[in-house]
Amino acid sequence: MTDDSPESPHHSTTFLSESATRRWLLASTILAIGLVAGGYLLGDGLKRAHRADRSVTVRGLAERDVTADLATWTIAYSATANDLAGAQASVENDTAQIRAFFKELGFPADAIQPTGANVSQSKDNNGIASFTIRQRMTLRSQDIKRAQDAVRRQFELVRRGVILEEGSGMAYTFTKLNDIKPPMVAAATKDARSAAEQFANDSGAEVGSIKGATQGYFTVEARDGDSGGGWGVSDTPYKKVRVVTTVDFYLR
């Protein structure tokens, strides 16, 4: 006959088994809830990280028309004679004609200065020596209109007997680039944001803050296809300043 009293060993074993089962179920439930919550948090964190890493790289352009503020005209001329004194006298006469030309146009005397000279000697087939003196004078002026007028009338120098050699010519330079850099960078950045907003609209996103930016090089070229080199030096006073910036924007 089986003893089912509370004090029997069989009843004690059953009681302990049920208690352990309940503890195991409780622990399993807690573990399951923890795994689900952890998985959700991890997935949500990955989504947030992915959204934070979304960005778009665009370029912004800014251009500005400017007028040169410095005119530099280098005048090269020479004289040749059978003796050094004769060549020197001829060059000095040309120099006087050049100074008179610029004085008549209203330039101050110190606007035109000698910037170089050299003397060479040669002999012809008969052994007769000759001397050549080459001289360079340079005009520097911030009076752009007066400088343009001087260029238009340069053939008056030829009528005065001054023969201009190759290398003579006016160059116009824009020297105030640093004054316009900040507003132009701001304009280029604004242009870049407009491009980013267009991209964001097409992709169903919004433009956030700047992730990173690179300022491009400033270039100063002759405007309207006129001839001339970079950095604002050319034979026309009308320039176009240009800068392109590259900007990374966050998308949200």
What number is the average pLDDT over the span 227-245?
72
Query: What confidence score (pLDDT) does residue 32 get?
Result: 58
Contact 220, 239 (CB under 8 A): yes
Distance separating alpha carbons of residues 228 and 239, to the nearest angstrom: 10
Query: What confidence score (pLDDT) does residue 134 get?
Result: 93
Could you say which architecture CATH assigns to the domain 55-67+176-251? 2-Layer Sandwich (3.30)
Q: Is the pLDDT score of 129 beyond 70? A: yes
Of 65 and 44, the one with more pLDDT: 65
Full-prediction pTM beyond 0.75? Answer: no
Mean pLDDT of the chain: 82
- pLDDT single digits (tens) 142-157: 999 999 999 999 889 9
Distance separating alpha carbons of residues 223 and 229, to the nearest angstrom: 11
Separation of CA 145 from chain center: 29
Distance separating alpha carbons of residues 95 and 136, to the nearest angstrom: 9
Contact 99, 197 (CB under 8 A): no
CATH for 72-170 is: 3.30.70
What residue ranges do the domains of the chain occupy? Answer: 1-53, 55-67+176-251, 72-170
What number is the average pLDDT over the span 178-198?
93
Distance separating alpha carbons of residues 94 and 104, to the nearest angstrom: 15
The helix (run of H) or strand (run of E) holding residue 218 is none
Query: What confidence score (pLDDT) does residue 203 get?
Result: 79
Distance separating alpha carbons of residues 202 and 200, to the nearest angstrom: 5
- pLDDT single digits (tens) 96-116: 999 999 999 999 999 999 998
Query: What confidence score (pLDDT) does residue 25 get?
Result: 64
CA distances from 177 to 17, 146, 180 (A): 89, 23, 6
